[in-house]
Amino acid sequence: MDTKELSTNVDAKYEDEASIKNLIYFVRNQQVMMDSDLAMLYQVETKRLNEAVRRNISRFPERFRFQLTKDEHENLRSQFATSSLGEENSAYGGRRYLPYVFTEQGIAMLSSVLRSDIAITVSIRIMDSFVEMRKYMANTSLLHERLNTMEMRQINYQKETDERFDKVFDYIAAHEDSEQRVFFDGQIYDAFSLIASLIEKADSSLILIDNYVDHHTLDLLSKKRKNVAVTVYTLNNNMLTNADLNSFNAQYPTLYINYTKKFHDRFLIVDNAYGYHIGASIKDAGKKCFGINLIQEIGVIQDILLRLAK
């Protein structure tokens, strides 16, 4: 039978290499074709095809032809969602055993066993399809590798970007009060909130220099962490009583009051390391326009502490 007759007799779905590619499966990490599909292409019964192989079994080692396990067969059927996968076409008889599959080398060997013009012609077309499939898989693998490389670069870039942003945000959080903050009259809550946050920063000590203190001052100082000692330097005519001090210390120890006339402005010193110049008594924060400014030079803070010690 010549090529023209083959083209007439073989089912239309097997007419071109694209259709043959649809009959190539990937099993045990290699490309294979079902014995029933090969029998259809060669126009013989599956039973006769396998009989020809058995008569020449020495030519078909395991790497050329092997029988699918039940799990492999079911896996292929589920992947390709067809009930005819591995089943013999009714025109060529039925089957009662698990199908055999042929590798590329096994298919090449089949043409010499079947010894027909159809077998030779079909085998050439199948070999071409295997070559095309290898090219496709190689290109697909290369594409996946490139995509994975791009994805990894994107992930690394995103990670580095996130880390840079985290550093920026951490810096902003640590230095959010490094610039002068100005509060206008009526911004009582905002001013109270900022001063409370400065007080909460202290790990061991707070020093407040403020000539006018009262119970509102104590309300703010109560925001300190536990076991942070507070020393207030103020004028002797402040509005706090001993009862106020005792009540505060009973719940938020320990608060000390010292008297001085050396300062006009208000200062808050945190852990003897950070200093803030406050333009108004903290009890009046937000009632009128005032500013809070971080003291940048540690030497200025040390000078303030030295004057308190005299």
Nearest Cα to 100, choosing from 6, 191, 36? 36
In a domain, 239, yes or no: yes
Is 103 exposed, middle or buried (CB count within 10 Å of its CB: 0-12, 13-18, 19+)?
buried
Whether residue 119 sits in one domain with residue 209: no
Boundary residue ending a domain (143, 169, 199) = 143
Is 293 exposed, middle or buried (CB count within 10 Å of its CB: 0-12, 13-18, 19+)?
middle
Range of the domain at 236: 181-309
63: helix, coil or strand?
A: coil
Peptide bond just before 149 cis, omega within 30 deg: no
Average pLDDT over residues 162-174: 57
Whether residue 85 sits in one domain with residue 13: yes
Whether residue 191 sits in one domain with residue 285: yes
Query: Residue 272 has what DSSP assignment?
Result: T
State the average pLDDT for the chain: 78
Query: Residue 14 has what DSSP assignment?
Result: G
Boundary residue ending a domain (143, 172, 203) = 143
Q: pLDDT per residue over 8-22, tens digit each?
A: 444 444 445 557 878
Q: pLDDT per residue over 207-262, tens digit each?
A: 999 999 988 899 889 999 999 999 999 998 878 888 888 999 999 999 999 999 98
Whether residue 130 sits in one domain with residue 11: yes
Whether residue 129 sits in one domain with residue 21: yes
Residue 163 has pLDDT above 80, yes or no: no
Here the tokens at position 16 are 């071109």
- Note the pLDDT of residue 263: 92
Whole-structure pTM value: 0.44
Whether residue 7 sits in one domain with residue 138: yes
Q: Is-contact 136 128, C-beta < 8 A?
A: no
Whether residue 187 sits in one domain with residue 69: no
- Sequence-distant (6+) residues with CB within 8 A of 42 are 49, 110, 114, 116, 118, 119, 122
Q: pLDDT per residue over 70-105, tens digit each?
A: 999 888 887 765 444 555 444 444 557 889 999 888
Here the tokens at position 203 are 């790990």
Here the tokens at position 272 are 């003897």
Least confident of 31-40, 110-119, 151-160, 182-191: 151-160
**Number of domains, the chain:** 2
In a domain, 225, yes or no: yes
In a domain, 167, yes or no: no
pLDDT tier for residue 300 given thresholds of 50, 70 and 90: confident
Q: pLDDT per residue over 120-160, tens digit each?
A: 777 777 877 777 766 666 666 555 566 666 666 666 666 66
46-72: b (≥16 Cβ within 10 Å) or e? beebbebbeeeeeebeeebbbebeeeb
Q: Is-contact 36 99, C-beta < 8 A?
A: yes
Nearest Cα to 108, choosing from 87, 122, 90? 122
CATH of the domain at 265: 3.30.870.10
In a domain, 176, yes or no: no
- Note the pLDDT of residue 255: 92
- Sequence-distant (6+) residues with CB within 8 A of 109 are 59, 60, 64
* Residue in the block written with tokens 């400065």: 198
Average pLDDT over residues 189-197: 85
In a domain, 66, yes or no: yes
Whether residue 194 sits in one domain with residue 139: no
* Residue in the block written with tokens 């852990």: 271
Average pLDDT over residues 166-171: 56
* Residue in the block written with tokens 């210390």: 249
Nearest Cα to 128, choosing from 114, 143, 108? 108
In a domain, 173, yes or no: no
In a domain, 148, yes or no: no
Here the tokens at position 163 are 């880390």
Whether residue 134 sits in one domain with residue 193: no
